[in-house]
Structure 1
């Protein structure tokens, strides 16, 4: 028994002796060595390993360009790893610590990207890419925040190389938020909440004009006012819709050709 215990302790001490050597080797790395190894892990998709190395770099060499770049890379690694909140936190930290850094525009851009893809995760990515879920069916909070992030980037750094992409994403996000209002209006229509549906559709028209949501917003207003017996408002909305969307699919399919209620169009 004592012999077994002695053998176990000998093996344990031998194993423990390996770790100081590994730690000593790593501690001997230069800042550039840390950065190179971390970037290699990042490029290979080993995001957790990359983050640990970038964090070790910053802890070992807290000052200088490598540490600053590591802070940005940590945010990007979290973003690629699907950790949107951690990516945003890293970007916010970088902005706070280095507001005048030449690459601070990327931190704003990264925040926008993280919010743009917020609430996806693994299952969200599968749904978005494979099942083609409409972004407007998701919680609009992240879309609003993403828009504001990109807007701040474009306003602060209009000549940034990330600005053109940010502008395109902002245009898309406006459409997304507008369609989200339509999703809510549809919900009210299907449940007989005609006043709420009309108000939501009207809000979409006012706040997000000239978006793809406009056509359906007008259609919902026509049907909601009709159900409420508000014929003047119904006719006004119908006139505007027919003038702007004479070939609208809603006009051709709204009469219930299959004998079903019109709201089953959706």
Structure 2
């Protein structure tokens, strides 16, 4: 569906480089024929934490995420609240994310943030939580709970770690999730419009205009308001919606269609300053 941002892999590599890597060249050569075999060793999970941690890093390097996760989890379980445990917990979050175990990654990341809110990797942990929600966003015909969760998690990255390297991508993910929420409103609004349930349709389109004015759904939302109000005979609101649409998107096909619709009734776009649409239009200009 969506490609993992390179910033995730870069950060994982940076975290990994903080520790001394164990030598794995010989073992790698002997294990390439068995994709399920731990490339370090079938060691007891009671090995020293630094050994387990480095084995986890070696497994990540070899693409053995399941084994890596097992090593990091062993460190966390056997040496709680140690520095090795802290580093293992964030790496465990990363491996679970990479394996597509998003619920586990979210739980692991949130636990990390609760235990180590001021650590050097807290921004990364929060970002991984956001990515795990983002990966679960479905198309607009389905429930959009993950979009809401993505916005909440990524906003914490933006607000809590404004100087981190994850802010730009976090903002991009927020925009995507907001587009999804606006798209869901439009999908429901069109459903009502097709059934001539105009008030219900207008309520949905209004939500898009007022709550999601900078999303990619705004042009259609204004055009659908023209359509719904025109069908109801509320011509001033139809004219205002068309005027706001034309003022902000004069070259839009949605505006051209709205203009033609008004002409059928001998009308043209004209803004009523007292309309909620006119007020929303001023906010639209600010947000664009």
Q: Do residues 191 (structure 1) and 195 (structure 2) align?
A: yes
Please say if residues 242 and 255 of structure 2, whose CA atoms lie closer than 8 Å, have aligned partners that are also in contact. Answer: no
Match of 1:74 among 92, 112, 123: 92
Q: Note the C-alpha offset of 1:177.
A: 2.2
For residue 47 of structure 1, what is the aligned residue in structure 2? 65
1:192, distance to aligned residue in structure 2 (A): 2.3
Give the Cα–Cα distance (whole angstroms) in 2 for the partners of residues 119 and 48 of structure 1. Answer: 24
SS at 1:26 equivalent: coil
Q: Which residue of 1 aligns with 2:232?
A: 228
- TM-score using structure 1 length: 0.74
Per-residue Cα deviation, 1:214-233 (whole angstroms, up to 9, x for no partner): 11001110111122222222
| Equivalent pairs, count | 220
Q: Give every structure 1 segment of 4 or more consecutive aligned residues whose post-TM-superposition deviation is greater than 6 Å.
A: none
Is 1:177 the counterpart of 2:181? The answer is: yes
Q: Which of 205, 212, 218 is 1:208 aligned to?
A: 212
Match of 1:151 among 149, 155, 164: 155
For residues 143-200 of structure 1, give each alpha carbon's deviation from its aligned partner in whole angstroms, at most 9, with x where no partner exists: 1111111111221121122222212322333333222222221222223222111111
Q: Distance in 2 between matches of 1:27 and 1:76?
A: 20
Q: Does 1:108 align with 2:112?
A: no
**Unaligned ranges ≥5, structure 2:** 1-40, 262-288
Quote how far apart the aligned CAs of 1:89 are: 0.5
- Counterparts of 1:4-19 in structure 2 under 5 Å? none
- Give the secondary structure class of the aligned counterpart of 2:44: helix
Structure with more of its chain in helix, by fraction = 1
Of 34-43 and 71-80, deviating more is 34-43
The structure with the larger Rg is 1
1:26 is aligned to 44
Distance 1:251 1:98 in 2: 52
TM value normalised by structure 2: 0.69
Q: CA RMSD in A?
A: 2.4
Q: Deviations over 1:112-165 (max 9, x none)?
A: 111111156xxxxxxxxxxxxxx4444222111111111112211211222222
For residues 32-53 of structure 1, the C-alpha deviation after alignment (integer angstroms, 9 at most, x for no partner) is 2211221232333332222211
1:247 to 245, 248, 251: 251
Distance 1:191 1:161, change over 3 A: same
CA 34–189 in structure 1, closer or farther in 2 if over 3 Å, else same: same
